[in-house]
Chains A and B, each alone.
Chain A
Amino acid sequence: MQKFDAFTGNLAVATAMKQINPDVCAAYPITPSTEIMMIFADFVSNGEVNTELVTVESEHSAMSACIGASLAGGRVMTATSSAGLAYMWELLSVASGLRCPIVMTCVNRALSAPLNIHCDHSDAMGARDTGWIQIFSENAQEAYDNVIQAIRIAEHKDVKLPVMVCVDGFIISHSYEKMQYMEDKEVRDFVGEFKPYKSLLNVEKPETFGAMVLPNYYMEFKRQVREGMERARQVILEVGEEFSQRFGRYYSNFENYMLDDADFVFVVMNSAAGTVKHVVKNLREKGIKAGVLKPRVFRPFPFKEIADTLKNSKIICVLDRAETFGAEGGPLYLEIKSALQTIESNPTVINRIFGLGQRDFLPYHVENVFKEMRNYLDSGNIKMFDYVNLRD
């Protein structure tokens, strides 16, 4: 039986964690994800979970402890943001390379300098190539649902990779919204028991984890991570399908919002997708064929399916909430451009960077970009790269 209540994004994630009941959590406070572990610590103190909570002295140690705990044969979760994720960075590829099915919520926040505690995706994008599956969440509901599904995806025998669930800092983490949630038992049934593949605690059959591997074998290990990531494509769909059958909310690799006949397409992830959908809905009411493609899974990037969906559009604006200084455009833009190389049709793709450090991104900003796109169809002129809502 599902119920409705008011949740912030952080409360939604902490609630999912309580219902999953991991064996170990190791975490270090950082805004805006701190609250997840504060709420979860209450669950620990009140005996509502079996979790051993390790309140480490840094994010570097948080991820180190998570890896040790994971290889000791149990379910492990954590959360972080921004500089915390950056500080963990060294261990991110250790977690994937050692095939630890850790589930971590990344409450997205900008990177310094200048110091900014507010939302953008530069933290998660800096970790995009570390072998972590990355799933993005538009709102508290999706954050809750994604964290629960992430357990199944990470621990699947064909995957065995860590999963990062991304949620926009403050915009979602600290805003209340109406959310549907399951009973504890329903969630525990869905995630199932943790089945260790190998364990450091298996003293009868000792194994060496994290060996030194020279050029003669190293590449094969990395190929195995890629293979796990490739198999995750199917697993993510299967888990999403089962989740929707049990709980009635459907999840795929990306959300297709009014895309089927769309000439004008916006590609955008996380909370800003809500704003863009609102504008697109208004455009549709005026008879303009606009649509939104909201990637949910950024790693493994569903390039084939996305290219197939976008092939008949005329102009695509990729909205990036992160910079890639020196590249042709933002990280999402580069993925979309690359995906479109796999098909013959070649829609125009422009890039707009928005919302860095949580700069306002409002419906009229989207409308202004749309005007540029419409003008392009008449004039053939448009800036390929630009910022949204930036001083001259």
Chain B
Amino acid sequence: MEGKLVLNFKELAERYEKEKEMFTRGHRLCAGCGAPIALRHMFMAAYPDNVVVSNATGCVEVSTTLYPYTSWRVPYIHTAFENAAATISGVEAMYKSLKRQGKINKDIKFIAVGGDGGTYDIGFQALSGAMERRHNILFVCYNNEAYMNTGIQRSSATPFGASTTTAPAGKKVPGKLQHRKDLTAIIAEHKPDYVAQASINNPRDFMTKVRKALDKNGPSFINVLAPCPRGWQHPSELTVEMAQIAVDACIWPLYEVDEGYHWKVNYIPKEKRPVKDWLEKQGRFKHLFSPKYEGLIEEIQKYVDREWEILLKKAEVFA
């Protein structure tokens, strides 16, 4: 049954009390980091499949594989920054080859994990290629909206107006001057079997999406919002709340594209929150509230409203 969690939440909780997690404690990611929340949920949803992970260079990679330790209880490979999708393509190709030759008989799922740098920017070509070649893989982007590992530089996932170390807010420039690339839609246009946008504040939605993706027999992509207290400059205990407001303000809509054509919005907030609620809680947007940059918040609101409207239309037309 496609997309059905093998265990319900209560069963999952019980199991995780008794059994080992595939992504263990003891890693060196920051307190309040959104990425490991996503990874733990990803593995819960993958249970009980055999999984092999390919990981792009980034926060998760450097903080979880510090030799001679590892946080991964699944086979794991890291080769470089821009090639997690290409690397997993090779692993999956070998699996297919050995299976065809009768040299291996178990069933294995293949997941690539990258941050937004390793997915939107430097990893984009390899991701696009892997999707087009239709490898049986799931690519999960933990999107924290900038190059956090190298010290909070802007990426093409960074939203308009955010201050980063390479697009800092100054006397003349209000941080990043461009809106982010809509990567989820771009990957959806590759027509893989399954594409989704998710957020760590809604584990049931994210886990169902991971399960759906793994149940497909082809390429899939999930872009999961994973706030970064260091880069976004919010208290570490507010990570999940930051994700929640992004979703409730329709800044980061939860949606999926099934079989390349069926667009579905998974969550429509009863009351859409203003973007201001999200911006004001993060230090990276602090300057937008100074008189010097008056009007920019309205501009962001307009942009978010327009994008949300387009998404609802797509879901209506291509249901």
Contact = CB atoms under 8 A, between A and B. Distances in A.
A201 interface: yes
Interface stretch (B10-18, B122-130, B267-275): B122-130
B94 interface: yes
Contacts of A233: none
Contact of B94 (A61, A68, A213): A68
Contacts of A64: 79-80, 83, 86-87, 89-90, 126
A109 B73 CA distance: 44
A128 B89 CA distance: 27
Nearest to A213: B67
Contacts of A217: 67-68
B101 interface: yes
B65 A212 contact: yes
A377 interface: no
Interface stretch (A70-78, A150-158, A174-182, A272-280): A70-78
Nearest to A74: B94
Contacts of A52: 93-94, 96-97, 100
A388 interface: no
A50 B87 contact: no
B126 to A, nearest CB: 5
A61 B86 contact: yes
B93 A206 contact: no
A293 interface: no
Contact of A60 (B68, B74, B82): B82
- Provide the main secondary structure of the chain B interface: mixed
A200 interface: yes
A208 B65 contact: yes
A94 B78 CA distance: 10
Interface in B132-171: 132-133
A201 B104 contact: yes
B94 A207 contact: no
Residue from the set B54, B87, B89 with the largest chain A CB neighbour count within 10 Å: B87
Given A94-B80, A201-B104, A201-B108, A206 B91 contact: no
A31 interface: no
A206 B75 contact: yes
Contact of B93 (A54, A90, A91): A54
Contact of A68 (B66, B90, B106): B90
B76 A90 contact: no
A208 to B, nearest CB: 4
Interface in A21-36: 23-24, 26
Given A61-B126, A212-B61, A212-B65, A56 B77 contact: no
B238 interface: no
B88 interface: yes
B86 A201 contact: no
A23 B125 contact: no
Interface residues of B, number: 46
B108 A69 contact: no
A336 interface: no
Contacts of A73: 94, 98
A70 B98 CA distance: 12
A56 B94 contact: no
A51 interface: yes
B75 A207 contact: yes
Contacts of B97: 23-24, 50-52, 74
A206 B53 CA distance: 10
A254 B96 CA distance: 40
Contact of A66 (B70, B82, B90, B132): B90
Nearest to B55: A210
Interface string A52-96: 101111101110111111111110100000000000001100100
B76 A54 contact: no
A206 B104 CA distance: 16
B52 A200 contact: yes
Contacts of B129: 56-58, 61
A207 B78 CA distance: 11
B178 interface: no
Contacts of B88: 68
Given A50-B100, A51-B97, A94-B80, A208 B86 contact: no
Residue from the set A55, A62, A206 with the largest chain B CB neighbour count within 10 Å: A206
A98 interface: yes
Residue from the set A51, A57, A58, A60 with the largest chain B CB neighbour count within 10 Å: A57
A208 B55 CA distance: 11
B67 A211 contact: yes
Given A68-B94, A211-B70, 20 more contacts: A23-B94, A50-B97, A52-B93, A57-B128, A57-B129, A58-B129, A60-B86, A61-B86, A61-B89, A67-B90, A68-B79, A69-B91, A69-B94, A72-B98, A74-B98, A211-B78, A212-B61, A212-B62, A214-B66, A217-B67
11 contacts: A56-B86, A58-B125, A61-B129, A64-B79, A64-B86, A67-B90, A68-B89, A69-B93, A91-B79, A201-B95, A212-B62
The 4 closest A-B pairs by CB, nearest first: A68-B90, A57-B129, A65-B90, A61-B86
Interface of A: 23-24, 26, 50-52, 54-58, 60-62, 64-74, 76, 90-91, 94, 98, 199-203, 206-214, 217
